[in-house]
A and B are shown apart, each in its own frame.
Chain A
Amino acid sequence: MNESWVVELAFAAMVLGTPLIFATIGEIMTERSGILNLGVQGMMLVGAVSAFWATYNTENLLLGLVAGILAGAALSVIHAFTSVTLRVNQIVSGLALTIFGTGLASFLGQAGSDPLVGNPAPVVFEPLFSGGITEWPIVGPLLFGHDLMVYVAWVVAGFASYYLFHTKMGLSLRAVGEDPASAEAAGINVSAVRYAYVMVGGALAGVGGAYYSLKIVPTWQDGPIGEAGWIAIALVILASWRPWRAVFAAYLFGAAGRVQFTLQTLGEPWSNIPSTILAMTPFVFAIIAMIVLTSGKRARFLGAPAALGIPYFREER
């Protein structure tokens, strides 16, 4: 039963969805503070190459993960500076961050006398459990067959959800994203909060990137994450800025990323569907979902932060 294509598809969907969960929840936290960061793709790529570099040189997964986190957060500071301190256009700044990050990641992979490109990671994330429990029908592989990061993603989602809706810090965060002037009046440092959550978003994007280079594509190559960073930005809206919904949305898109392989194994006529058509389906789905779910006032109703993308000018006098 565990060899059935349904179980295999679901298993792969969870693996491919895991980096999307990290990146999406990171962007949810950033956007909840009122900052739109379109640099997710760039931060994930720089996280991926940094994590790979650290693990390649130390053969240590944890150090790789830490490197990914630090690199993602460091890159995000640029966006925090332009959008919070300089208050210039967040959309263009985010795009710039993605272009810069894409170039930097690729550069770091190619540069030097012994470039990373083409080298395999010495260690990768391995399944956490072994033995009989992983062979139980359906739940064996799906619940107990994964590596640590799949479970960490659940913990992050649970924690982010609790933090956002049940803690004072979470309330402050949401207040800053909804009405920064009132938040400031209530004694919250709007700029500090925004800096902090832009960096949280960068750190989590770095984790997502690290999971690509140390698990999904464990040999360094240019652009190992595909379009994951852009998908994460769409998932934020589909998850209506709620961490738990991000988990399910990410798994759904993980499945879309795998369905091509599944159809090949099913044989005719399924294997005749062109890969290019399958590759565009997640994006078609995202657009339709966007139009149906988030048009006009419905976006506010779903939970879009009211001050999203709007620079905050503190009263000086």
Chain B
Amino acid sequence: MSTRRFIVEPRGLASPWLKLLVPIGSVFAALVVGAIFLALTGENPFSVYKEMAEAGFGTTRSVAETLLTATPLILTGVAAAIAFKMLVWNIGGEGQFLIGAVFASGVAIWLGDGAPAYVALPVVIVAGGIGGAFWASVSAVPRVYLGTNEIITTLMLNFIAINFTNYLIFGSTSPWRDPEGATFPQGRPIPDGSRIPEFFERLDYGIFIAIALAVLAWYLLGKTRWGFQVRIAGDSADTARYAGIGVSNKILGVFLLSGAYAGFAGGLFVAGPVGALDPRSLILGLGFTGIIVAALARLNPLAIIPVAVLMAALLNSGPSLQSIGVPTATVTMLQGAILLFAVAGEFLIQNRIRRPDKSPNTAPSSGEEASPA
């Protein structure tokens, strides 16, 4: 039509370098935005960032704490990635995480001291997954059979789960509440047989379970027939139907699996560092943060592992900021900025910008990549 200074057109397959460069650039750009706000409020951004890096990775102890926080983030990140890949907008990871924790701690308390650890531990973690899948099903079933928008229902279920967890400890005399914590209500400690053993500082073997589950998700989505069909259905529901793939079944399966992963995170966190259904240690936004992890890792379950470690270090640096008089909200602000830049960066991965007068080669290349986040 008219003379445009630039032409934007869909790119074919983006180079691996670009796919790596955009997330790294997102983090860097977010740090610049954060630095501007820090400088405006009279802080030295470099010393603040140095403090944060030391709090996250400075000592072996802080590395152990970072990996401890990364454990649930890997799983809530995979939970979001599984769903988003198929354009299922499960933003209920927070609620599925909490109900997973409720199920896991409930089963652990019910089993008591009687069961040996090699029985109790798998049962407790699987119970977490079942809890998460159950909570996801409240949104998934209406989505699949009635067409109800899952964005709002998963979101609302987060707030219901948060209040329900608080109810079990603060609002009732449920089996989850510690009968001996007379002065201030707290969660009943789960039996030692249901706790994941620690091997370095407070770090427990849960990190390896989380990594194994992330690899499993990568295998399921990338290497199996089921995963192939899910990817087709995610790209185009019509194509999938034409190929005889049951789209409804795939959506239901993906939704429940996504919930199960968030639930596993809750189970591992309860059986790991927390050791009880303790709302103050569990309601930290780990489910929401999983969405940031998934987007920054571009929905790749393997990339989620390092991204979760980075995000965990960022989360853990909050308290250290308080000690130097910098708002802890800096962490949330940086998280939001990272996600904003990561989602905006998708534009660069999916499109190329060129001058109009150059080559006449206007035919868009095939094999376009439909990655949603």
Contact = CB atoms under 8 A, between A and B. Distances in A.
Interface core residue of A81, A88, A279 (most chain B CB under 10 Å):
A88
Q: How large is the interface on A (under 10, 10 to 19, 20 to 34, 35 or more residues)?
A: 35 or more
A245 B340 CA distance: 33
Contacts of A296: 146-148
Given A111-B41, A287-B157, A316-B1, A96 B170 contact: no
Contacts of A112: 41-42
A297 B146 CA distance: 9
Contacts of A92: 84, 291, 295, 339, 343, 372-373
B152 interface: yes
A291 B150 CA distance: 10
Nearest to A222: B329
Interface string B142-181: 1000111101110111011001101100111000000000
B171 A277 contact: yes
A277 B142 contact: no
A99 B288 contact: yes
B37 interface: yes
Interface stretch (B52-60, B128-136, B330-338): B330-338
Contacts of B73: none
A277 B167 contact: yes
B347 interface: yes
Interface core residue of B156, B291, B342, B347 (most chain A CB under 10 Å):
B156
Given A86-B347, A111-B327, A230-B159, A99 B148 contact: no
B32 interface: no
A72 to B, nearest CB: 16
Contact of A86 (B7, B160, B344): B344
Contacts of A110: 327-329
B187 to A, nearest CB: 15
Contacts of B155: 230, 233-234
A216 interface: no
A78 interface: yes
A104 to B, nearest CB: 5
A237 B156 CA distance: 13
Given A89-B343, A296-B147, A234 B332 contact: no
Contacts of B347: 82, 86-88
A286 B336 contact: no
Interface residues of B, number: 54
B336 A101 contact: yes
DSSP majority for the B interface?
helix
Interface core residue of B155, B336, B344 (most chain A CB under 10 Å):
B336
B336 A102 contact: yes
A299 B149 contact: yes
Contacts, number: 169
B167 A276 contact: yes
DSSP majority for the A interface?
helix
B89 interface: yes
A92 B151 CA distance: 11
A100 B34 CA distance: 11
A274 interface: yes
Contacts of B41: 107, 111-112
Contacts of B163: 276-277, 279-280, 283
B288 to A, nearest CB: 7
A141 interface: no
B51 to A, nearest CB: 16
A104 B333 contact: yes
B292 interface: yes
Contact of A103 (B147, B295, B333): B333
A20 to B, nearest CB: 15
A166 to B, nearest CB: 29
Nearest to A105: B329
Contact of A294 (B149, B167, B344, B372): B149
A107 B292 CA distance: 20
A66 B7 CA distance: 38
Contacts of B308: none
Contacts of A275: 171
B339 A88 contact: no
Given A107-B330, A275-B171, A99 B37 contact: no
A317 B160 CA distance: 50
Contacts of B170: 276
A42 interface: yes
Interface of A: 38, 42, 78, 81-82, 86-89, 91-93, 95-107, 109-113, 222, 227, 230, 233-234, 237, 274-277, 279-280, 283-284, 286-287, 290-291, 294-297, 299, 316-317
Interface of B: 1, 7, 37, 41-42, 84, 89, 91, 138, 142, 146-149, 151-153, 155-157, 159-160, 163-164, 166-167, 170-172, 288, 291-292, 295, 327-337, 339-340, 342-344, 346-347, 350, 372-373
Given A96-B340, A99-B288, A276-B166, 18 more contacts: A81-B344, A96-B295, A97-B336, A99-B336, A102-B329, A102-B336, A107-B330, A111-B37, A112-B42, A230-B159, A233-B155, A283-B163, A284-B160, A287-B160, A290-B148, A291-B148, A296-B148, A299-B147
